[in-house]
């Protein structure tokens, strides 16, 4: 849902900035690489130290590169399969860094093995959710399902909760620190539901495609039995 509406809004907002970068000679691929590097740095430097507010601010500043690079490519008329591949691949790297940084915090100073495991599950399930759609499409299926929690929802829920939890260091009430654990559980459960939705959809679509292919295949003529074979005459 967020992919549909948020992308349209931010694309309009960021179009002038994308045009400026193009005039400065910056390539879409460079924006993709710099954005991913910023997200990874923000997640793996700040989150393991428990600096959730500043980590979220840093990540948020760079995560918009995912919208800017595509906008730049469309404006410059240089959209390509390589650009789409690079963008999708580095999205997985950025997501892994965010949940990996949270897992490092809970495995270390956060001292909560359960939330460490939940963070790792969010990391892994997010990768698998993306893979199921990509793999289904690669075998010719539409995978026509959005799912309960996709990448945009995972990021928004996690980063908003992390940023608000980080306000505790600035004197916010202690209960605000509970937002991040709650968000991680929500993302974990939502990702599991989304994964099931996509697997069920791929199974249904593959069965329909196989049935349609079988119905369209020409039927083979019946094989000739020995009784149908003309007998050879013994005449010369």
pLDDT single digits (tens) 27-85: 989 999 999 999 999 999 999 999 999 999 999 999 888 788 888 888 888 878 898 89
Active site members: 91
Do 92 and 71 contact (CB within 8 A), yes or no?
A: no
- Runs of H (alpha helix) within 64-178: 65-76, 81-107, 113-138, 151-166
Positive or negative torsion for Cα 184, 186, 187, 193: positive
Predicted local distance difference test score (pLDDT) of residue 233: 46
Predicted local distance difference test score (pLDDT) of residue 219: 62
Predicted local distance difference test score (pLDDT) of residue 105: 97
Predicted local distance difference test score (pLDDT) of residue 49: 96
C-alpha to C-alpha distance for 105 and 48, rounded to whole angstroms:
4
C-alpha to C-alpha distance for 96 and 199, rounded to whole angstroms:
22
Predicted local distance difference test score (pLDDT) of residue 4: 56
User: What is the token pair recorded at 102?
Assistant: 């949270």
- pLDDT beneath 70: ranges in the chain: 1-7, 10, 219-236
Predicted local distance difference test score (pLDDT) of residue 79: 79
Do 95 and 155 contact (CB within 8 A), yes or no?
A: yes
Integer distance in angstroms from the first to the last C-alpha of the chain? 84
Question: 228 by DSSP, 3-state: which?
Answer: helix
DSSP 8-state symbol, 6: H
Residues 6+ positions from 87 with CB-CB distance below 8 Å? 32, 66, 69, 70
How far CA 224 is from CA of 56, 86, 91, 232, in Å, comes to 74, 56, 59, 16
C-alpha to C-alpha distance for 52 and 183, rounded to whole angstroms:
13
DSSP 8-state symbol, 64: T
C-alpha to C-alpha distance for 32 and 232, rounded to whole angstroms:
77
pTM of structure: 0.85
Do 51 and 98 contact (CB within 8 A), yes or no?
A: no
Predicted local distance difference test score (pLDDT) of residue 235: 46
């Amino acid at each position: 849902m967020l992919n549909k509406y948020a992308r349209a809004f931010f694309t309009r907002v960021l179009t002038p900035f994308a045009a400026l970068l193009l005039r400065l000679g910056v390539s879409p691929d460079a924006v993709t690489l710099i954005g991913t590097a910023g997200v990874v740095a923000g997640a793996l430097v700040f989150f393991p130290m428990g600096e959730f507010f500043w980590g979220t601010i840093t990540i948020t500043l760079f995560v918009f590169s995912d919208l800017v690079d595509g906008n730049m490519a469309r404006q410059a008329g240089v959209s390509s399969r390589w650009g789409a591949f690079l963008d999708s691949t580095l999205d997985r790297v950025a997501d892994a860094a965010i949940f990996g940084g949270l897992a490092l915090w809970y495995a270390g100073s956060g001292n909560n093995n359960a939330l460490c495991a939940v963070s790792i599950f969010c990391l892994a399930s997010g990768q698998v959710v993306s893979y199921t759609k990509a793999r289904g499409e690669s075998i010719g299926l539409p995978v026509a399902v959005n799912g309960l929690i996709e990448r945009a929802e995972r990021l928004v829920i996690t980063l908003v909760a992390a940023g608000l939890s980080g306000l505790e260091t600035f004197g916010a009430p202690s209960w605000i620190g509970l937002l991040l654990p709650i968000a991680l559980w929500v993302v974990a459960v939502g990702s599991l539901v989304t994964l099931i939705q996509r697997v069920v959809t791929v199974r249904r679509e593959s069965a329909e495609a196989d049935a349609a292919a079988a119905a369209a295949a020409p039927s083979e003529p019946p094989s000739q039995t020995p009784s149908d074979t003309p007998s050879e005459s013994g005449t010369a």
